Structure 1
Amino acid sequence: MKYNKTELAIQKLVDDGVVPGVNYAFIDEDGTQRHLIGNKQLVPKEVPLTDGHLIYDMASLTKVVGTTMVILKLVEDGKLSLEDSISDYLPEWQYPEVTVRNLITHTSGIEGYIPHRDQLDRDELIKALLGLKAGAGLNHEMHYADVNFIFLGLIAKKVTGKAIQPLIEELVLKPLHMVNSSFHPDADKCVPTTYDKEHGLLQGHVHDPKAQVLGEDCGSAGLFSNMDDLLLFVESVLNPDDNPVLSSDTVRGFYTDQTKHDLGRSYGFERINYEGMPFIWQSGFTGTFIVIIPEKKHAMVFLSNRIHPVSPNEYYIERRKPLIETYLSENK
């Protein structure tokens, strides 16, 4: 298939200076089309993006590529149930009505504010998160929040005795042969994110503040990966019978709403419709996203470092939605 309008929209993102460059790919019945445009970095000097195998900070793609897969694997192995109360595993948590399903679908209703969050150490941050409350939105509202997947990571650790990031490496990256993905990448192979004169380029080190503090216990961010490996992951979701981590029935569960009241979330992913065509998608703060159209077995993978040189670059968010809609419209 041709995606002329989508490619023009991506080119315009670069031309307008919204992102330094983009590494993107389309999967469809014709195979995989890969493209590379723009720059790897803009400061302290401009460097063209000429290597399609460079590694990116995945940010919240960690949630679906890593933590979601681990939790579902533990469910399949009978070590966990989606209907389990999270208080069974995190006894400090005071709202036993919140379940593992609520966490994986962002319907936990968890709310609250942690003062000086980025100044806390690991133990202090976990204690503060466990001190938050579940509000009226439980099961009735979707509120996307990192805390849900931080708790999933802590639950996986309680069940297995291993931190979530090593579990992701063992249970997901290894069987999927995602050999370029890790939580401690070679910085020279990474696309940089932020830059300031005092610290220079942030390259090969996770951008997310909570991931910096929690280290291997962070289930919401921290993964570094590249296009080669993300295509392997996406193919494993598009082809349930060939997924080396999960059963075909579990993988098909990604395609359907997994909330109590049809709130538009599957396992980890947002699950919505474009003009009657269901699709699932997930993004990362650093400028990454995946869009999957299950019924057509089509997908788009988009990698950029939109927070380079300065975060947060909110204008990118305004441009992302129409870009995705353009891609979906070309698949109708």
Structure 2
Amino acid sequence: MKWEKILRKIENQIEAGIYPGASFAYYKDGEWKESYLGLSDPERGLKTETGLVYDLASVSKVVGVGTVLIFLWQQGKLDIDRPVTDFLPECDYSDITIRQLLTHATDLDPFIPNRDKLSAEELRETMFHLNRRNQPAILYSDVHFLLLGFLLEKIFNQDLDQIMEEQVLEPWGMTGTKFGPVEQAVPTVRGVEAGIIHDPKARLLGKHAGSAGLFSTVKDLQIFLEHYLKDDFAAELSRNFSPLDDKERSLAWNLEGAWLDHTGYTGTFIMWNREKQEAAIFLSNRTYEKDERAQWIVDRNQVMEMIRQEE
């Protein structure tokens, strides 16, 4: 059985020290199965269990900004081929469209040399004047969704946390999802207070960060993914929206065949397949003991590929 194979793989990865524990949920045939493995807090010896709150890292991109923008596009309220400067005239990117930001298909150089020395306002200002690479290419980067977050704040004339709450979280009953810092959460790094946002830019920008910073639970993400599996707004997302030929991407989501997914730096990912009516949630704190990102991507992709496989 696919479920058992995936659980064995996760157990093997925990035993290999890739992450201390994981919350995993899989949706098929109209039902969710859940499994809670390993430890959520090794220092305190706490087992992984239901109801835990995790730092979503970049999974925040689709839970928040991505979903709100998809709503606007699907409702005909936003032309995604408009230049970003129509909404953010203070930025230098009159040749970059909302579609390009949503599919990470720009020539923006995300490197900010003195990032850790900037204030929130200085970081925001820097986002509007980034260097450019030689030519556009699919290069996944936080800067695209930071800009989209600022764009939404202009459209709604509200702070991003309020926009997400009113447009997504409250209507869908996702009561356990909010921007950090939060009082109780699975610790992402040993010795660092739990509930603090792991991502540096999101930690600085707080409720204005469109790229990361949300904390959530398996239960809330189940609600979230079921809306993508069933609601009309998501019916057309399982296709390529990228303006470039080098990689297929949906709006906000990575696209692998009929599967859409998004991953997060802290050891998180969610994925769904509307055609098959399948979905999966994986939440871990893989940065707790070490941060071996390249190896983590290999290990994570093994689990994701098992989920995509047929029974």
* Residue pair 2:103, 2:241 contacting (<8 A) in 1 also: yes
Q: Corresponding residue for 2:304? A: 324
Q: How does 1:202-241 map to 2 (within 5 A)?
A: 202-240=193-231
Q: Secondary structure at the match of 2:271?
A: strand
Residue of structure 1 equivalent to 2:163: 167
* Cα contact 2:240–2:250 (8 A) shared by 1: yes
TM-score of the superposed pair, with normalisation by structure 1: 0.88
* Structure 1 Cα separation of the partners of residues 82 and 293 of structure 2: 39
Matched, 1:265 2:260: no
Task: Tell me, in whole angstroms, the C-alpha distance in 1 between the residues paired with 2:57 and 2:189.
Answer: 13
* Shift of residue 286, structure 1, vs aligned partner: 0.6
Q: Which amino acid aligns with 2:254?
A: E
Matched, 1:47 2:42: no
**Residue type at the aligned position of 2:298:** E
Partner of 1:290: 270
The letter for the 1-side match of 2:218 is M
Match of 1:243 in 2: none
Q: Separation in 2 of the partners of 1:313 and 1:48?
A: 24
Q: Does the residue aligned with 2:235 lie in a helix, a strand or coil? A: helix
Letter in 2 for 1:48: K
3-state DSSP of counterpart to 1:35: strand
Which position in structure 2 is the counterpart of 1:303?
A: 283
- 2-structure distance, mates of 1:34, 1:79: 37
Please give the secondary structure, in 2, of the residue aligned with 1:36: strand
Which residue is equivalent to 2:78? 80
- 8 Å CA contact 2:153–2:159 kept in 1: the answer is yes
Task: Rate the CA distance shift 1:99–1:34 in 2: closer, same or farther, 3 A.
Answer: same
CA deviation digits over 1:261-289, x for unaligned, max 9? 4531101111123xxxx211110101110
Q: Which string of whole-angstrom CA distances, capped at 9 and with x for unpartnered residues, describes residues 64-91 of structure 1?
A: 1111111223335555321111111222
Shift of 1:159: 1.2
Deviation, 1:157, is: 0.8
Unaligned runs of 5+ in 1: 241-247
Q: AA paired with 1:259?
A: S
Q: Quick check: 53-62 or 2-11, which moved more?
A: 2-11
Q: In structure 2, the residue corresponding to 1:38 is in which secondary structure?
A: strand
| Counterpart pick for 1:99 among 75, 91, 97 | 97
Q: Which residue of 1 is the match for residue 11 of structure 2?
A: 11
Say whether the 8 Å CA contact 2:25–2:34 is kept in structure 1.
Answer: yes
How many residues are paired up?
Answer: 310
Per the alignment, in what secondary structure is the counterpart of residue 26 of structure 1?
strand
Q: Is the 2:87–2:151 contact (alpha carbons within 8 Å) kept by the matching residues of 1?
A: yes
1:244 — aligned with what?
A: none
**How far apart in 2 are the matches of 1:270 and 1:137?**
21
Per-residue CA deviations over 1:227-280 (Å, capped at 9, x if unaligned) read 00000011001112xxxxxxx1x412321111124531101111123xxxx211
Q: What secondary structure sits across from 2:71 in the alignment?
A: helix
Q: CA RMSD in A?
A: 1.8
Cα drift, residue 13 of structure 1: 1.0
Secondary structure of 1:13's match?
A: helix
**SS of the residue aligned with 2:40?**
strand
Residue of structure 2 aligned with 1:255, choices 238, 245, 254: 238
Deviation at 1:124, TM superposition (A): 0.9
Q: Which residue of 2 aligns with 1:194?
A: 189
Q: Is the 8 A contact 2:138 2:244 kept in 1?
A: no
Where 2:178 maps in the other structure, the secondary structure is coil
* TM-fit CA distance, 1:314: 4.1
Structure 2: gaps spanning 5 or more residues? none
- Kept in 1, the 8 Å contact 2:22–2:38? The answer is yes
TM-score by length of 2: 0.94
CA distance change for structure 1 residues 82 and 134 in 2, over 3 Å: closer, same or farther?
farther
One-letter code aligned to 1:41: D
Is contact 1:194–1:311 with CA below 8 Å preserved after alignment? Answer: no
